[in-house]
Structure 1
């Protein structure tokens, strides 16, 4: 019986560039990571975690920063759609807004430097 989602792992190609995005754009706090034999970073996100793994050969790397809700992605629930939108615009990252999504969530899509898609949403 599954209890909850513990973490999501994403492949990245450049750890410094990825860490800058997750720290400076998404404002996540990095947590201690075991001393694996490959580079990466971990972040605490509520009671879940996000793990970055440097693996340039990963078949999950999209090779594009095109924003679309149809590709694999994960979603963060945010406190304020307007504040999140304003913040993201101030950072200069490309965004795709979908306030009136059929899902019932107001959505903003961004991608990290390696094209991993991230949805930021709030209940309408």
Structure 2
């Protein structure tokens, strides 16, 4: 038996250096890439970026170090769309974005008549605010100020933390990568306009 065979998987994982991984993008199948792109632009401040000439209609959006890739559903892809939901269930699958200004997102949702649910989560003397709402295709989105919670690993595994910079990059030429926070401290609409100019 070799040394490798005698070593448990847990030991290998603890001894090996952590992988260098970062969130590149979230891909969503949608009914209308145009309607969905407008939603992510207006509500969350994403901007459109160039994409390869695929044989499927869609749009790529980017901001805050995160990409959103929208794929317009062909007839045989309709079943991939989430069912239409009138009820907001925070325990459903969702994408979560972090912000310092939850109130500003509430103002945008109210102005656009988008239904949302607001919750608070107390933990170790801090209180985190959460907003939950659906995009035009029924995908759940959470907005939170979860940076208030300290990330505490369970066990001995070494974790790599994303940059905690509270100033979003205005460089639209940054590749679609980086695990980053959605920070609405600056005016995102202005940032996108200036980056596209």
The TM-score by the shorter chain falls in which range? 0.7 to 0.9
- String of CA shifts for 1:51-86, please: whole Å, max 9, x gaps: 111125254422123321122111111220111112
d(CA) in 2 for partners of 1:81, 1:15 = 26
Query: What's the counterpart of residue 95 of structure 1?
Result: 116
Aligned 1:54-65 pairs, distance under 5 A: 54-55=72-73, 57-65=77-85
Out of 2, 6, 9, the residue aligned to residue 27 of structure 2 is 9
**Larger deviation: 45-54 or 61-70?**
61-70
Deviation at 1:105? 3.1
Aligned 1:100-115 pairs, distance under 5 A: 100-101=120-121, 105-115=128-138
RMSD over equivalenced CA pairs, Å: 1.9
Query: What's the counterpart of residue 48 of structure 1?
Result: 66
Out of 91, 98, 108, the residue aligned to residue 70 of structure 1 is 91
Tell me the matched-pair count. Answer: 123
Length-normalised TM-score, structure 2:
0.57
For the structure 1 residues 27 and 48, does the alpha-carbon distance in structure 2 shift closer, same or farther, using more than 3 Å as the test? closer
Length-normalised TM-score, structure 1:
0.86
d(CA) in 1 for partners of 2:78, 2:93 = 15
d(CA) in 2 for partners of 1:2, 1:118 = 26
Larger Cα-atom Rg:
2
**Larger deviation: 2-11 or 108-117?**
2-11
Deviation at 1:112? 0.9
Q: Which runs of 5+ in 1 are unaligned?
A: none
Moved over 6 A (4+): none
